[in-house]
Amino acid sequence: MDHDDSSRPDRTESRRAMRPTFGELRRQLAENGDPWTIDPLISDDEPLPEYPLGGMPEDAGERIPSALIDPQVDVRTIIAELPPNDPGLRERWAEVGVPLDGVPPEATSDRPDDSGNR
């Protein structure tokens, strides 16, 4: 089916009109004393580019249960089970005292390998 776009408001133009311009942002940055500035080659009249986003609010999509780690947990205890192969990373682990034998510092895991990654 053909759509007659002539009867519709020009959404592109209206959206473009809503977009802040580089000039407005320059003024905001100056007023706020922000430490970063806009490329001087960009004119004030030019609207800010509207790059696409895509982050659905986290409570609206599927979540992975128990993925969040307790804030009190030391990351080094949860990563020790899978030591790195990269030599630079292994050196770094040794520097900060993470064991490289696959045994977590304060806990051992007797969970069988159910990864299916063969």
Partner 1 sequence: MNVDWRNRNGRNFVTSVRSQGNAPNCWAFAMTALYESMIRIEHSLWTRRSESDVARGAGKQAWDWGNAGEAHIFVERYGLADPGCFPWSEAAALYTAKPHGPALSALPMSPTPDRPGRTMRIRPGTFVGLTTDQQKKDWLDLVGPMVVQVPVRWDFSAVGSQIYTPNPNSPIRGDHLMLVIGFNDTDKCWIVKNSWGPNWGDGGFARIAYAGNMLEPRAFVGVRGTNPDPWAKRRQRTGALVQGGNGGSNNNFELFVLVGGNIEHWYRENSNWQMPWNQLGPLQSADPWRPLPADAVDVPAVVQSSFNRNYELLYRCSESGLHHAYFDQASAGGSTPGSSATRATPSGTPSGYQDSSRATGAHLVTSKWSP
Cβ–Cβ < 8 Å for 16, 47: yes
- Quick one: tokens of 17? 């009109």
Shortest separation between residue 21's beta carbon and partner 1, angstroms: 10
104 contributes a contact to partner 1 by CB under 8 A: no
Distance CA 77, CA 98 (A): 8
Per CB under 8 A, which region of 6-14, 26-34, 100-108 contacts partner 1?
Answer: 26-34
Cβ–Cβ < 8 Å for 77, 103: no
Q: Which of residues 32-91 bind partner 1 (CB under 8 A)?
A: 32, 34-39, 42, 48-58, 60-64, 67-69, 71, 73-76, 78-79, 82, 84-89, 91
- Quick one: tokens of 34? 């922000």
25 contributes a contact to partner 1 by CB under 8 A: yes
